[in-house]
Amino acid sequence: VFQTTRHIDAPPQPVWEVLSDVGRWPEWTPTIDSVARLDDGPLQLGSRAEVRQPRLPKATWEVTELLPGRSFTWEATGPGLRTVGRHEVAPDAGGSTVTLSIEQTGPLAFVAALAWRRLTQRYIELEAESLDARVTHDASA
């Protein structure tokens, strides 16, 4: 499991609004080239999106768990590999704590971890940093 946690100096609601609007991720994080939503409206159970990231294969993600205003989990599957991405926003003293994680399972999980270990960890850390910058910059603008 790859994971990062970051404090953001903003209440949970604006953090959640940015984090859950997956179609706009390419606007604020360099780890995402494009997101094509495969359905309309707010993120919900069963929502799907095609995501392109630098140096990684294109993946179709489907929301499998959702606690509105708090967290969502989505999954992408490919031959021999299942990837689960978790995104959580929790209130803390002075703002929010964001926790992002990626877990890979299946026969090719070990190979994927070896191939993309540094990249995966760097991407989730950069996504948390970028989310922080987006939310706190928007709040101060």
Would you state the pLDDT for residue 114? Answer: 84
CA distances from 24 to 19, 33, 36, 56, 112 (A): 9, 11, 10, 19, 27
Tokens of 88: 């959580």
The model's pLDDT over 73-121, given as tens digits with 9 standing for 90+, comes to 999 998 899 999 999 999 999 999 999 999 999 998 988 888 888 999 9
Number of other CB atoms surrounding residue 104 within 10 Å: 19
pLDDT tens digits for range 13-56? 999 999 999 999 999 999 999 999 999 999 999 999 999 999 98
> Structure pTM?
0.93
